[in-house]
Structure formats: structure tokens, C-alpha cells
Structure 1
């Protein structure tokens, strides 16, 4: 993985999540790599935790979750560093993380086409 590249572990069954992550992937110019947690994932990523909140692996191997994950995506995405800087201070980041974690369970999710899911 090249420097300043993150891997975003996101919910591929959520149309809103897919749309947003594809935007970061396009704008990220190779700095944002996507991995759908409804498929194969590394052993050190807990599937349910990754479905509950966005997870991002930094280029040093560290994994961050929730609002911090969005901050890291914005940090490496050209033209979005201002958003990372704006929402990084604790007085802003902490309440946004709390709100994100409260609202994330209500995101839209596609149903399985055949009625049987592996999740």
C-alpha cells in the first residue's frame, strides 16, 4: 500500500454507503481503497463491528472507526482535507462520532436477492 493510502471497510449492502464510498474512491485518486465487509475481510476486522461503523486501515496498519475513519478518508482525498481539519478537534469530533454511531443503524440496506444472506 502506498503512503497516504487508506482501506475503507464499508457496508456494501447499504446503497447510501456504496454511493459515498465510490465518490471517495474516485476523488481519492488511488489513496482510498474500498473493501466491502459483506464479502471477504481480513481476520483482524470484526464483521459486525465494521457493519456497525465505518472502519479504515491507515498505511501504518492501525485501524480507526466511526468519525475518525471519515476524517482519515478526507485527509487523503484531494480537495477534502479542509473537512478533515474542520471536524478533527475533539469538541467537534466527539459529538459527531456519537451522532454517527446513533444514526448509522438506521441507514438503508438492500435485501438479499434470493432471501438468504450469509450475514
Structure 2
């Protein structure tokens, strides 16, 4: 993986669990990861519905990865998480975890109100 530059994580900032997890990674600095709310403006090659359905990460070389591989890409870069990336990278582990993540992700909580504005 190219490590010359930050990752960009396209995630659902209306999900409190997602916000908390991404903030944990982001506290290591924007030279490692930059957060981008998938509810806002997105680059043309990032589909909003897909980005809200599962975590998407743009690698420094411009490629997009999503689902469990997106988490692996983050963990490879964030100090202290490399072992988890290494342990979950093999296909017999990664594929079932990705399937489980994609099944559970739609059940995550989402804020009904944001920035004091509620849709009715």
C-alpha cells in the first residue's frame, strides 16, 4: 500500500458510532487520515448511497476501497492498529467479516437531528 499521503474516509457522520470511531482514528493527525462526511458533497466517483451503506476509503494512490478492506487500510496506518489489520487481512477471515459488516451496517443508529435542524 502507498503510505505517502493521508487516507480519506467517506463515512456516515450522522451515525454516532461511526463518528466516535472515525474521531478516534483522526486524532492521530490529518497526515494519516482525513474524514469526509458522506452526507455532504462528494467527489464524482464516490456514490452517496454506497458510501452511506459502508465505509469507503480513498488510498493515497487514488483507489477506493470499501467495507472491511477500508477498515484494514485505516488500521494499517493508525498507530497501534497494525496487528488487527494483519490478523483480519487473510481472505478466510476478511471475507466473512466483510459480509457480517455489510449485514450489520444498515442497522447502525443515525441521528434524526443534526446541527439543531430536524427534518419533519
Q: Normalised by the size of structure 2, how large is the TM-score? A: 0.90
In structure 2, the residue matched to 1:115 is: 119
Structure 1 residue runs without a partner (length 5+): none
Distance in 2 between the 1:21 and 1:95 partners?
22
CA RMSD of aligned residues (A): 1.4
Specify whether residues 26 and 44 from structure 1 end up closer, same or farther in structure 2 by C-alpha distance, changes over 3 A only: same
Distance in 1 between the 2:118 and 2:84 partners?
40
In structure 1, the residue matched to 2:53 is: 52
Distance in 2 between the 1:87 and 1:28 partners?
24
Structure 2 residue runs without a partner (length 5+): none
Deviation at 1:55, TM superposition (A): 0.2
Deviation at 1:41, TM superposition (A): 1.0
Distance in 2 between the 1:28 and 1:93 partners?
27
Q: Does 2:47 match 1:85?
A: no
Distance in 1 between the 2:105 and 2:27 partners?
23
In structure 1, the residue matched to 2:21 is: 20
CA shift digits 1:37-60 (9 cap, x unpaired): 111111110000000000000000
Deviation at 1:34, TM superposition (A): 0.4
Out of 15-24 and 106-115, give the one that drifted further. 106-115
In structure 1, the residue matched to 2:100 is: 99
The size of the alignment, in residue pairs, is: 115
Distance in 2 between the 1:36 and 1:80 partners?
23
